[in-house]
Copies of this chain bind each other. A is one copy, B any other.
């Protein structure tokens, strides 16, 4: 087991009143999944959070979309997203079994669309990049697009299918993870952690989203996102089953239909730290949504909400020991990708805790990548984390 930090107690056979093996700060999906996995490996785990599940996950749409999210210049992140998405079906099945909950996991795939000729040109540029990485993006003829999703507006010029981009409902996921974690023996403490010195455990995992910055000094910043929730009238299911992502007159929008009638429409990406909902953002999201799927005009608007994503300088998560603090592991900065990255984050961090050795997938994401200025021991190499790289197979699987 990974040990050696200042708060280590050094004992392997502790009684029930001693410090836990692992303290997790943050009961979002990442923190809860780590706690669940660690408890399943026999560790005693405490999770600290004043309001479990109230962070970015409460706002998130829950797209599991490594293909649609594969963006120019983010090869290593795309590899991690792809590897984590591949773990989602088994993870979802195991979690549903452990919790008895329906996660709203849905494998209907994602349609990528462009409303105008300009929108389609922009989309095609990205699809070509994604196809160049070997990712499964299949261009559709307009007739194929409409056959798959008749609810699309006749104006929509063209599209493609990312069949392996699925979805889950984060508002079902978090309670399920909590149930599974508690059934595995995890203790939840409803309180805020103001400083790492408040936590007594052999290993502390900081999975506090935007709160990680204050606790660790890591470069995690809030990135505001505004999201709408619509509902099909009369308790019906939405009139479309794919996640639809696209450009509509230059506005990027996604539409995530749930079996229970909900449709999540998102999202803005704003370098702001407030969580107010602005008239302009709602207008742009609704206009793009209705332009792509006209029947949404008749849906109820049941929620407008803004949340703060934990962004990082390179849009990738920060995973692994703080420089000079091998007993403190970051699992933060998941930005737009917290839900899809939950399974792999939990597996990699749990493996690191149990074996003391970081898996090769972690290498591009360790805290020390931000250079000697990274907080902790300046210039420290970051504990036992080696410089391994991911293989091609791991990346695009």
How far apart sit A219 and B286, CA to CA, in the bound complex (Å)? Answer: 37
- Kindly supply a per-residue 1/0 record for chain A positions 292-303, scoring 1 wherever the CB is within 8 Å of any chain B CB and 0 otherwise: 000011111110
Secondary structure at the A interface, as helix, strand, loop or mixed, is helix
The residue on B at minimum CB distance from A296 is B279
Chain B residues with CB under 8 A of A287: 283, 287
Tell me if A276 counts as interface (CB < 8 A to partner B): yes
Chain A stretch 298-319: residues in CB contact (< 8 A) with chain B? 298-302, 304
A301 partner, pick from B282, B297, B302, beta carbons under 8 A: B282
How many copies the complex holds: the figure is: 2
Count of residues in A whose CB is under 8 Å from the partner chain: 22
Measured between C-beta atoms, what is the minimum distance from A109 to chain B in Å?
A: 24
Q: List chain B residues, Cβ under 8 A from A301.
A: 277-279, 282, 304
| Given the contacts A286-B286, A287-B287, A280 and B300 also touching, CB distance less than 8 Å | no
Known contacts A286-B286, A304-B304; A297/B279 CB under 8 A: yes
Return A211 CB to nearest CB of chain B, in Å.
24
In contact, B280 and A290 (Cβ under 8 angstroms): yes
Can you list 6 A-B pairs with a CB-CB distance of less than 8 A?
A: A277-B301, A278-B299, A279-B300, A280-B297, A282-B282, A283-B287
> What are the 5 closest A-B residue pairs judged by CB atoms, nearest first?
A280-B297, A283-B286, A276-B300, A279-B301, A277-B301
Residues of A near any B CB (own CB < 8 A): 228, 230, 233, 276-280, 282-283, 286-287, 289-290, 296-302, 304
